[in-house]
Structure 1
């Protein structure tokens, strides 16, 4: 038995947006319940399990997997570019590794380990209270400058989606983080306004990743010929030599690439 699963940008984007919407709504409702219904025996469980500002929970797992999926798509593009000796193939590879790190960082909250030592060193207050934004912000600027030529070699629709995804993601990860840092410094984190800021921040990050995934899947479809996953499931009358296989055929019209395992 054979199933073919096409990598359809529109279908994937709609699905991911629904998931993000559900996660954000459940997180916000759980946070509001904790403030408006104090003493509820389930409030701590709900906040820990679904709060977007909590660690090692459902939203964290989703975000880590979404970033890892970005890395996979970038790696697929890099593989094809390498076979075709395409331009900027190393840029695609570096992007793939960056998203592996972002996925690990999301899962383990690695960047937050910079907060206390940097806060002590800079004696940070106000919008820099979450001091990890300083070194990460510098790295983001360096990255954006080094990828300027790469960006302008992309097709116009892909370029616009890349810019939109970057602006949305950085607007949440750094922009709203600064707002949240100021609120945390002046009024603490146990208040509704801070939770609203955090919800907006995490929502922008997740939406930015969805836009980026849409950009990558659309680029694969229009510029590399598309991707299909072929799944073979042995049946009763299957020959002995037949086995389960997941493949990605014909990624590129020029190279007729085939990836399978």
Structure 2
């Protein structure tokens, strides 16, 4: 018995939006409950497991999977582009590795290891309290400049989605980190203003990845022919055969130019 589960951009996006919204709302409510509600069983555990600004919990696990999924989708496109000898094949490969790194950075909070050394070096405070944004902001600027031609070669609909995703993700990760750093250094992380900014920061990052995944799946559907999961369940009397190796089509002639389908 065979089940085929196609990855439709609209369905995946709706599901991820629900997950992201639930995580952000549960995080905010669970943190607020620490300040304004009476103690209840497991109050601190609930607040920690849903806190989008903490590590090793449900939001972190979700973000790790979302970034890893983005890396896999980019790998599919890179593989197809390589078969087609596309001029931008290496750009897709590098993007796949960048998102692979971001997924492990999200799981291990690797960028935060730069905070103390950079803070000592720059004697930073205020909006630059989270000093990891200095070296990473420089790397982001180099990345944006080096990928400008790549972005403009993309179809218009894909380009808009990628630019929107980039603006949301960078706006959350770096843009909201600036007021967050100021509030953290002046009011502490247990203040309500910092809680609001931190929740908004993580929500924008997660939303940016949802938009990016939507763009990737739409691009794959239009220019590669789509992607789906095949699940095989062997019955008692059925024979298990090796699945056929079906190569991805060339990308020079898109099968369908309507990215909204």
TM-score (norm 2): 0.93
Deviations 1:126-185 (A, max 9, x none): 110000000000000000000001001100000000000000000100000111001111
Q: 1:234–1:242: 8 Å Cα contact kept in structure 2?
A: no
SS at match of 1:212: helix
1:242 maps to 241
SS at match of 1:26: helix
The one of 245, 249, 252 aligned to 2:249 = 252
Deviations 1:62-101 (A, max 9, x none): 0000000000000000000111111200000000000010
Q: 1:70–1:99: 8 Å Cα contact kept in structure 2?
A: yes
Displacement of 1:41 after TM fit? 4.2
Supply the distance in 2 between the matched residues of 1:252 and 1:179 (Cα, whole angstroms). Answer: 47
Supply the distance in 1 between the matched residues of 2:78 and 2:51 (Cα, whole angstroms). Answer: 35
Q: Which structure has the higher relative contact order (CA within 8 Å, separation 6+)?
A: 2
Q: 1:227–1:248: 8 Å Cα contact kept in structure 2?
A: no
1:121 maps to 121
Q: How many residue pairs are counted as aligned between the two chains? A: 252
Q: Which runs of 4+ in 1 moved over 3 A?
A: 38-41, 247-251
2:143 maps to 143
In structure 2, the gaps of 5 or more residues are 253-261
In the alignment, is residue 80 of structure 1 matched against residue 80 of structure 2?
yes
Supply the distance in 2 between the matched residues of 1:249 and 1:227 (Cα, whole angstroms). Answer: 12
TM-score (norm 1): 0.93
CA RMSD in angstroms comes to 1.6
1:92 maps to 92
Q: 2:50–2:58: 8 Å Cα contact kept in structure 1?
A: yes
2:152 maps to 152
Supply the distance in 1 between the matched residues of 2:109 and 2:216 (Cα, whole angstroms). Answer: 25
Q: 2:73–2:216: 8 Å Cα contact kept in structure 1?
A: yes
Supply the distance in 2 between the matched residues of 1:173 and 1:254 (Cα, whole angstroms). Answer: 33
